[in-house]
Amino acid sequence: MVRPAQVFREKQDIDLRTGHRVESIDPANKSGKGATSEGKAFDFSYDKLLLATGSRANIPDVPGVGLPGVFALKSLEDGRRIKQHIAKTPVRKTVVVGMGYIALEMCEALRSRGIEVHMVKPGPIFIPWLNPELADAVRQEVEAHGIGLYPGHEIKRIEAEKEVMTVVCSDMELKGEMVLLGVGVSPCSELAAGAGLSLGPNHSVAVDRFMMTSDHDIYAAGDCADAYHGVTGKKTWIPLALRANRSGWAAADNVIGRKVALQGVVGTAVFKVFDMQIARTGLSVKEAQDFGFDSAETVIRSRSRAHAHPGASGIWAQVVGDKKTGRLLGAQMVGKEGVAHRINAAAVALHAKMSVEAFSQSDLAYAPPFGPTWDPLLTAANQVLKQL
Amino acid sequence: MVRPAQVFREKQDIDLRTGHRVESIDPANKSGKGATSEGKAFDFSYDKLLLATGSRANIPDVPGVGLPGVFALKSLEDGRRIKQHIAKTPVRKTVVVGMGYIALEMCEALRSRGIEVHMVKPGPIFIPWLNPELADAVRQEVEAHGIGLYPGHEIKRIEAEKEVMTVVCSDMELKGEMVLLGVGVSPCSELAAGAGLSLGPNHSVAVDRFMMTSDHDIYAAGDCADAYHGVTGKKTWIPLALRANRSGWAAADNVIGRKVALQGVVGTAVFKVFDMQIARTGLSVKEAQDFGFDSAETVIRSRSRAHAHPGASGIWAQVVGDKKTGRLLGAQMVGKEGVAHRINAAAVALHAKMSVEAFSQSDLAYAPPFGPTWDPLLTAANQVLKQL
């Protein structure tokens, strides 16, 4: 929900200073300074400081990214600017740089406006964190909607000639009236770094379970802050809405002295592209290997409804287990229905540090309109058990 | 999936004797006897015996339940007989006795054929195990489809005059060309009882975690057998498909000496009536009280999609926690989308004996098409936490 600044000032009596850029913090003196949008210097002092500086869209370091008609995809303002551009320029084709959640969600939005979409990125694999069989099902869905997918093409520059933009790669070119950059986000942690605070993965602001930074009077919450990963026990940076929101509540509690510890995340995420739902939780096989697990993986294909029930579509489910301990490490699913919320069962199992065997015995919901007797995650768990 | 008997004989080399009714078992001599459908006596001996006698539909003990035009709702054959009746008799109205899962599912099926439906039962509460606010949402959905609901009417008898059946209650009558009896099922445990085996709740066949009955050479699986409840630790009898199927696999393993222990159930169930999904797991408030828990309950109303996403509908979520230990005891949900699979998160949390607080910190999936940032179960858990 988007609330105007006035609501905070009037309803919550918060001294909300928009147009004030904080440029540095001095933890030793518990103060900071900056400049307003009119260039006027200001300073402030604090008892407790909360950094909620968020993240910003990554911009590829190539010529032409600043051209009109090239847009990043992060803020509400970005969305408005894109809509304005489409309203005033006849956009028939768009080149999307990147193939992550946001890039794929945008390509669906553009397609629904009748705009042709090509997606390009340097990496050779369509969705690298997704099991290849699952990624292939998503790719088929995306291509069935006429999206051109060009992974493995390094972007050299973006050029404009009148209204036509060209994304120039080392070995090909893609043209359109708009270029969207959807190549991930990075934490806005410069203030924290400048104040000498410890940083975490991806240069996020390192916080403990109470959202406290390395300075006892400075907290951080939202996309700028890191988190503990419930599977690895290590720090991670996964800037998603639920954690951002939850960490805000926890930081507020802790700032006023009401101790609230957060468990951390397990890497649950879901998105939709056209009719396909893609969900994950925990570690991919690659991540499991990187963290030193000796992992086993199974992919099964199941159905979204019981055998006798009409209207079923395919569900692909993947489960990753640890050969050494038998523990559940992660799960992924794709399919046209019943994927988005099903993944939550595995997410809770990860928080509980369940073994694959214990998870496979879960009493999950069954009725013919909603799935087969054995939930796809249970079938996948039963299969991976044979390798553990 | 329904497989003809021949498949078992030919593909799996099983000596499958249909038309053979076993009438008694003699555990001391590891033998049994019975009669074929042609009245011919037979006997058999065994090393290990598996009882998979299932359950049968309850039939109210009132005059007229045997009349043509009165049908129970349990087997595939029941379904075929109902279809035949509808094909040869113009059925404009049907009276359904009972308001459980099956009764409600049938009323949707009948309505889709344009048949008027009235539902009647002796108990005064529409869905007694469901939180009243949730039950009310379901009642509104059912009534919006023109179903007449008459809880609190004791059924005295069923009468027939030509093609019109009358369900006579103590204080009213309901008429139709068909009467369906959907008042639950009971385990077929007469053989087990006759053999002196221990019985469990509702006279089901008592089994241990290896599906072994009180006789070491007799196992039981499927709807006839009881189970441990993961929340109460006590025996329970909840005859649903996943447990029945899972217990069959486990019994087979154990019969051949491959030890497989089952954890038990947590009472997860889901069904659909018209556009409403109804899901539960764990204990209702009444059940929690019956098992001696000092429980707290919260109901929240949330939405099936994020605020800015079109097409959202309401989701009601209820969470039950134990005031003494803080443990999660149960959850219920109703709504038009995103309910059926969401309940699985709470089911896994029950298996893991999670506290409400730990569950409330779960990293569940979020994307705008699939729910609010805080999953309705998390919002309900956050609320019930305030009472624990």
pLDDT bracket for residue A240 (50, 70, 90): very high
Q: Is B330 on the interface with A (CB under 8 A)?
A: no
Residues on chain B touching A240 (C-beta within 8 angstroms): 366
Chain B closest CA to A312's CA: distance in Å? 15
Least CB–CB distance from B367: residue in A1, A243, A271: A271
Order across the sheet with B173-176: list the strands.
Answer: B155-161, B164-169, B173-176
Chain B closest CA to A29's CA: distance in Å? 35
pLDDT bracket for residue A200 (50, 70, 90): very high
Question: Chain-wide mean pLDDT for chain A?
Answer: 96
Instruction: State how far the Cα of A71 lies from the Cα of A77, in Å rounded to an integer.
Output: 11
Which tokens hold the place of B151? 């809880």
Least CB–CB distance from B270: residue in A269, A358, A366: A366
Q: Is B219 on the interface with A (CB under 8 A)?
A: no
User: Which residues, 6+ apart, have CB-to-CB distance to A25 below 8 Å?
Assistant: A31, A32, A49, A191, A192, A194, A195, A218
- Can you say whether residue A323 is alpha, beta or left, with left for phi > 0 and alpha for psi between -120 and 50 degrees? alpha
Judging by beta carbons within 10 Å of its beta carbon (0-12, 13-18, 19+), is residue B177 exposed, middle or buried?
A: buried
In a mutational test of the B interface, the residue from A344, A355, A366 whose CB has the highest number of chain B CBs within 10 Å is: A344
Tens place of pLDDT per residue across chain B (388 aa): 678 889 999 998 999 999 999 999 999 999 999 999 999 999 999 999 999 999 999 999 999 999 999 999 888 899 999 999 999 989 999 999 999 999 999 999 999 999 999 999 999 999 999 999 999 999 999 999 999 999 999 999 999 999 999 999 999 999 999 999 999 999 999 999 999 999 999 999 999 999 999 999 999 999 999 999 999 999 999 999 999 999 999 999 999 999 999 999 999 999 999 999 999 999 999 999 999 999 999 999 999 999 888 899 999 999 999 999 999 999 999 999 999 999 999 999 999 999 999 999 999 999 999 999 999 999 999 999 999 9
Write the pLDDT tens digit of every residue in A27-49: 999 999 999 999 999 999 999 99
pLDDT bracket for residue A1 (50, 70, 90): low
pLDDT bracket for residue A3 (50, 70, 90): confident
Give the per-residue pLDDT at B20. 97
In 3-state terms, what secondary structure has residue B280? strand
Give the per-residue pLDDT at B117. 98
Instruction: State how far the Cα of A84 lies from the Cα of B183, in Å rounded to an integer.
Output: 61
Residue of B nearest to A275 (CA): B369
pLDDT bracket for residue A366 (50, 70, 90): very high
In a mutational test of the A interface, the residue from B105, B344, B355 whose CB has the highest number of chain A CBs within 10 Å is: B344
Give the per-residue pLDDT at B130. 97
Residue B341: HSE in the Cβ half-sphere, 13 Å Cα cutoff = 31
In a mutational test of the A interface, the residue from B348, B359, B370 whose CB has the highest number of chain A CBs within 10 Å is: B348
Residues on chain B touching A307 (C-beta within 8 angstroms): 1
- Can you say whether residue A189 is alpha, beta or left, with left for phi > 0 and alpha for psi between -120 and 50 degrees? alpha
Q: Is A359 on the interface with B (CB under 8 A)?
A: yes
Write the pLDDT tens digit of every residue in A297-342: 999 999 999 988 889 999 999 999 999 999 999 999 999 999 999 9
- Does the distance separating the beta carbons of B347 and A352 come in below 8 Å? no
Is this structure's pTM higher than 0.80? yes
Q: Which amino acid is at B338?
A: G
Which tokens hold the place of A246? 């939850």
Give the per-residue pLDDT at B338. 95
Q: Is A230 on the interface with B (CB under 8 A)?
A: yes
As a whole-number percent, the residues of chain A with pLDDT over 70 amount to 100
Q: Is B32 on the interface with A (CB under 8 A)?
A: no
Give the per-residue pLDDT at A236. 98
